[in-house]
Amino acid sequence: MSKNWQIVTKRERERAVELKRTQKRERKRAAAAVKAAKKNGTYVPEAAEDDTEVAENGAVADAVAETAEPETAVADA
């Protein structure tokens, strides 16, 4: 293995570690903010993305069903 390749892989590992640490820091800050908001009484729970997507899709399907005209038989032969 060449020296340059070793340097490249080492830097990739370092970037991965730094990214992981940054993400962990952000999760901890978000958890601390939620905890502080709950303590202050200003916490408003956020809906999960999956829940809102299902609700929106269901609402759209209901709206389409209400506006659609009933199908009639076309063949009168």
| End-to-end CA gap in the chain | 80
The whole-number pLDDT of residue 46 equals 81
The whole-number pLDDT of residue 29 equals 97
Low-confidence ranges of the chain (pLDDT < 70): 1, 48-77
The answer to whether 37 and 43 have CB atoms below 8 angstroms apart is yes
- Residue type (1 letter), 12: E
